[in-house]
Structure 1
Amino acid sequence: MSSEVKTKRRPFKKFTYRGVDLDQLCEMSREDLAQLLDARARRRFQRGTKKKETRLLKRLRKAKKNAPELEKPECVKTHLRNMIVLPEMVGNVVGIYNGKTFNQVEIKAEMVGHYLGEFSITYKPVKHGRPGIGATHSSRFIPLKIIKRLFHNLRLETDSLILDIIKL
């Protein structure tokens, strides 16, 4: 019984996209690949690829070709958030613009068929801190906070005036 357990090995799960291996996806023509993608991506491919998209693919191929063996290729920056991830892009590093910075993303096989913009978030998730002045009913009745809020609205930045008023 223990010998049976030792002989069982868990092989790595090979990636398939809708039943097709990644190697076969890379060899497919764009028309055949479009038939495997969802309807939105199919419509996009029917309209044809734009000049900017072909230029990005050319730069990605060049970066992958110039990369030393067993190392990641150089990052290729782009503003094309609406570019669909193709199988030939797998393994590349893309800097996707989020409106402020370029987020470096390594393209993996699981990303095929998705938009580049899905992997570079455009907003900063909210981190809820302590409530501000006047945010709750209990904080309204603290006189010092009310005076500070009034002076803040008047753009008086000196705390000495506030302290003088409190002493009166």
Structure 2
Amino acid sequence: MSTEYRIGREGEEFAYRGHTLEELQELDLDEVAELLPARQRRTIERGLGTEQRKLLETARQRTEEGTADDPIRTHLRDMPILPEFVGLTFEVYTGQSFERVRVRPEMIGHYLGEFQLTRTSVEHGQAGIGATRSSKFVPLK
């Protein structure tokens, strides 16, 4: 990918634990795992599941083919975001629908599910008639 990613102050290039994005993308999966936080590192060291390996292969194919804009649908909210995923678009399942997540370099080391919330805040309306003792005397409109 020839896209330049910048973060922070003007002119400052993205770096993850002292490595540029290009360096990270050239590293082997085991070498990347050593740089990730403990929980994500253990996920990779124990071995990715069959679905996770399939998702990784699909992401690699999309990158090679140059069809990175086509979203990849997945239910795998527990997939660690790897440097190979930068620039790809995923549709992550929230329990009700698939929501788009465009992977940026700052997301490396997190999980896909962290960027699509499954719970929404509840905003209650006015209490109905008979809901409580005090609402018995609420005038009808």
- TM-score, with length taken from structure 2: 0.81
Give CA deviations for 1:96-117 in whole Å, capped at 9, x if unaligned: 0011111011011011010111
Is residue 22–residue 109 contact of structure 1 (8 Å, CA) maintained in 2?
yes
1:96 aligns with 2:75: no
- Normalized per residue, the structure richer in helix is 1
Mean Cα displacement is larger for which, 82-91 or 23-32? 23-32
Match of 2:135 in 1: 139
Is residue 127–residue 135 contact of structure 2 (8 Å, CA) maintained in 1?
no
Cα distance in structure 1, aligned partners of 2:123 and 2:138: 26
Moved over 4 A (4+): 134-137
- In the comparison of the two structures, how many residue pairs are matched? 133
1:86 aligns with 2:82: yes
How many Å apart are 1:73 and its aligned residue? 1.7
Q: Which runs of 5+ in 1 are unaligned?
A: 1-9, 145-168
Q: Which runs of 5+ in 2 are unaligned?
A: 1-8
Structure-2 change in CA distance of 1:59 and 1:131 (3 Å): same
1:109 aligns with 2:111: no
Structure of larger gyration radius: 1
Residue of structure 2 aligned with 1:77, choices 73, 82, 95: 73
Counterpart code for 1:118: E
Name the structure, 1 or 2, with higher relative contact order (CA <8 Å, separation 6+).
Answer: 2
Note the 1:20-31 alignment, pairs <5 A. 20-31=19-30
Is residue 99–residue 122 contact of structure 1 (8 Å, CA) maintained in 2?
yes
Task: Give the secondary-structure state (helix, strand or coil) at the position aligned to 1:126.
Answer: coil
How many Å apart are 1:19 and its aligned residue? 1.8
Give CA deviations for 1:36-57 in whole Å, capped at 9, x if unaligned: 1111112111101222112111
Cα distance in structure 1, aligned partners of 2:53 and 2:128: 50
Cα distance in structure 2, aligned partners of 1:119 and 1:128: 25
Matched residues, percent identical?
43
Note the 1:6-85 alignment, pairs <5 A. 11-67=10-66, 73-85=69-81
Structure-2 change in CA distance of 1:143 and 1:22 (3 Å): closer
How many Å apart are 1:21 and its aligned residue? 1.1
Q: What root-mean-square deviation, in Å, do the aligned CA atoms of Structure 1 and Structure 2 show?
A: 2.3
Cα distance in structure 1, aligned partners of 2:138 and 2:106: 55
Is residue 84–residue 115 contact of structure 1 (8 Å, CA) maintained in 2?
yes
- TM-score, with length taken from structure 1: 0.69
